[in-house]
Amino acid sequence: MVRKDNGFQKKLLETFKVEATEHTQAISSGLIELEKTLAADEQTKVIEAVFREAHSLKGAARAVNLREIESICHSAESVFAALKRKEIALSPALFDGLHDVVDALGKLLGAIGTGVSGAQMLPVAEVLRRLDGVLKGATARSAQEGGREGQATPPPPELRQPSSAEKPASAETVRVATARLDALLFQAEELLAAKLTAHQRSVEIREAAGALAAFRKERSKIASEVKSLQFALQKGARRDGTQRTTDMQPRKLAEFLDSESAFVGSFEARLSALARSAEHDQRLLGAMVDGLLDDMKKALMLPVSSALEIFPKLVRDLSRDQKKETELFVRGADIEIDRRILEEMRDPLIHVVRNCVDHGIETPEERKRKGKPPCGTITLAVARKNGSSVEILVSDDGAGIDAKRVLEAALNAGVVARDEVADRNERELLALVFRSGVTTSPIITDLSGRGLGLAIVREKVERLGGAIAVETQPGQGTAFRVVLPLTLATFRGIHVRAGGVQFVIPTIYVEQAARVKRGEIGTVENRETIRRNGQAVSLARLSDVLELPRKRSVERPEDTVQMVILGSADRRIAFLVDEILEEREVLVKPLGRQLSRVRNIAGATVLGTGKAIPILDVPDLLKSAAKAATAPAAGAAPIPEAAPETRSVLVAEDSITARTLLKNILESAGYRVQTAVDGIDALTRLKSERFDLVVSDVDMPRMDGFDLTARIRADKGLGELPIVLVTALESREHRERGIDVGANAYIVKSSFDQSNLLEVIRRLI
């Protein structure tokens, strides 16, 4: 009985968590709406809606005995009730306090099911105290304003439940575990193999019927000769008076030939009827499978808005943290995409939006100097691109991206060599922002500056079978275009043959498939190229890139070859193939754990014949082709690498605890570490010893970290020394001062993580 009760309680909490998340998100969205300039009646409606959400969440929390959430909701409900009664007025401080409440509720909900109580995770009493202070402050301000205006407080609106006629009509819904839906979709997808097999069998039967018809046609051409032969044999046998048994042979042969002709005609009719039946069954099965798959995909489709609910608050919080004003506009949020894709794309989209706020949108003062409105805008637009893909456009009206700065950052990071980018256009240079290690940020912070974010975004998009590109206009803004498939299970693919092996290439990466004359293939810097749309495109043989043995092929009369031009981000390469067979619908099959990461292969599909065909991983393939083009000649002696030198780090920190912690972390990572108790001590050591990097606190006696950084930058011998500031000062003003004095990275202790620190140091030295 206890086990049953525990199971029921667990299910109840899971149900509550889903419901509570919806209520919390609705409260957050309502607060964002209230911060906008709304008419009085619209404000009243939003406040009423938010009040109801808080009230409902409080009741649900009481039902599952979550006292911390209930207490916070009760206090928040009091604030919303006061707003309804016009006892307090909306203010930035009030909004900040209420958003803190939403964050606290999110943390408490996250603790459910983890074994950690809400009280352990969050000091609820502190949250309630802050909320009470916000309410009292707002009440005091409203009283002062009311006294100045000498106006009576209007009567509070009556709380009224909407009638059944006023409630919006909605389709009946049920909650189903996503794992069950995924299992049903998997089984439905397996039926696609049966559909393809039925089609293949129909084709094979039709081909057999065609072959038999061709045989009968050829036989009919010699029917008269067969009759003449029969007559001659019979006549010859009677003339020479042979035995009767011998006379039977021509007669039996003639009878067999007659019966064989009749049998072939009958068998051809039966085979044709069987082919028609197979085609009918194939069409019927195909329609049923397509309908079932379509319905199952729709069951797993969610509107994009379900993944974008957190974005308004995200933009608000990031903007306020950086003293900026930004408004988010969302379009096409009702378009539906596979739930699995939405879940995978949530974090990449968060990073792109964060990038827009951090790197794109300027401060209000800077925007005014440029003749722009003080409030910047970020637009997140979703649109159907075609029947099988969707485009997500994230754009801002900020400063734009300087392609020259991107190029210099890529060169400084060693991502590309100068001769590699000599002939690249601006679009190709901008695509370097997706390379790992490329950043135009002047300093590394907990928010940005590592050059990893956009590289991770591109990796995630490509792993989903999509593509991402960036466009910019300096001074006017930047746009990121993400093209994704609507569903993960199936896609359109080009079926090709190379080196005697068949492959499938996802159509989303195919820019062009064509037949070209061999004379059009040129050579630039010992690399084969072909011109397309006025540009030289590198050319590679797919079989060579995949390291397949070359086979001698028969020359076509026109002396032509077939190729496909594949593109992803900043790479674009043409691949020669033996044959382009067809474009087809493809059901992706995973390779299993043993083959979870096979170079150049993303998965496999099964043809109707039962043959497994590899699906090419195009981004991986493009990298392999680029490496093959720049690989050293075979037999070249490798240059021996020198043994790595142990890097030395100076830690300047006045707290002995923090100093010891940093020293242990760095020594465990293999660095040689010396310590200093303040800025003057650190500067003295730098004069007498050589160090590769300085890690410094900011708030220190005698000389703080800012002054230490400025003194190092002013010294000719030390000016290029990398400096990382690790401090508890997290305001934007302190970060900007860190940039101004020349620090390379600024890490806040409240969000300190030792792997984060080590990753920053590895990047700098």
Task: Give Cβ neighbours of residue 63 (< 8 Å, ≥ 6 apart).
Answer: 16
Q: What is the pLDDT of residue 181?
A: 75
Confidence band (pLDDT; 50, 70, 90) for 78?
confident
Q: Is the pLDDT of residue 411 over 50?
A: yes
Range scoring the smallest mean pLDDT among 183-197, 206-220, 470-484 = 183-197
> pLDDT of 580-633, one tens digit each?
988 877 777 766 655 656 788 887 887 766 677 888 888 888 888 877 655 443
Question: What CATH fold (topology level) applies to the domain 2-157?
Answer: Four Helix Bundle (Hemerythrin (Met), subunit A) (1.20.120)
Q: Is the pLDDT of residue 158 over 60?
A: no
**DSSP collapsed to 3 states, 67-110:** HHHHHHHHHHHHHHHHHHCCCCCCCHHHHHHHHHHHHHHHHHHH
* Highest-confidence segment of 125-134, 137-146, 618-627: 618-627
Q: Is the pLDDT of residue 140 over 60?
A: no
Q: What is the pLDDT of residue 444?
A: 60
* DSSP code string of 512-541: EEEEEEGGG-EEETTEEEEEETTEEEEEEE
Neighbours of 658 (CB within 10 A): 16
> pLDDT of 4-63, one tens digit each?
556 667 777 877 888 888 888 888 888 888 887 677 888 888 888 888 888 888 888 887
Q: What is the pLDDT averaged over residues 478-496?
A: 84
Q: What is the pLDDT of residue 160?
A: 36
CB 108 within 8 A of CB 68: yes
> pLDDT of 253-287, one tens digit each?
667 777 777 787 788 888 888 888 888 888 888 88
- In angstroms, what CA-CA distances link 688 with 334, 488, 666, 704? 65, 61, 21, 20
The CA-to-CA distance between both ends of the chain, in Å, stands at 61
> pLDDT of 168-200, one tens digit each?
444 456 667 677 777 777 777 777 777 877 888
CB 122 within 8 A of CB 105: no
Domain coordinates in residue numbering, the chain:
2-157, 181-302, 326-485, 490-629, 648-764
Question: What CATH fold (topology level) applies to the domain 326-485?
Answer: Heat Shock Protein 90 (3.30.565)
Q: What is the pLDDT averaged over residues 399-407?
A: 85
Q: What is the pLDDT averaged over residues 522-526?
A: 66
> pLDDT of 346-376, one tens digit each?
888 988 998 899 888 999 999 999 999 999 9
Percent of the chain past pLDDT 90, that is, above it, reads 11
CATH number, span 490-629: 2.40.50.180
> pLDDT of 293-332, one tens digit each?
777 777 778 888 888 888 888 898 888 888 899 999 999 9
Q: What is the pLDDT of residue 396?
A: 94
**Pairing verdict, β 501-506 and 723-727:** unpaired
As given in the structure block, the two tokens for residue 432 are: 């370097």
Top-tier CATH class for 648-764: alpha beta
Arithmetic mean of pLDDT over the chain: 78
Q: What is the pLDDT of residue 634?
A: 38
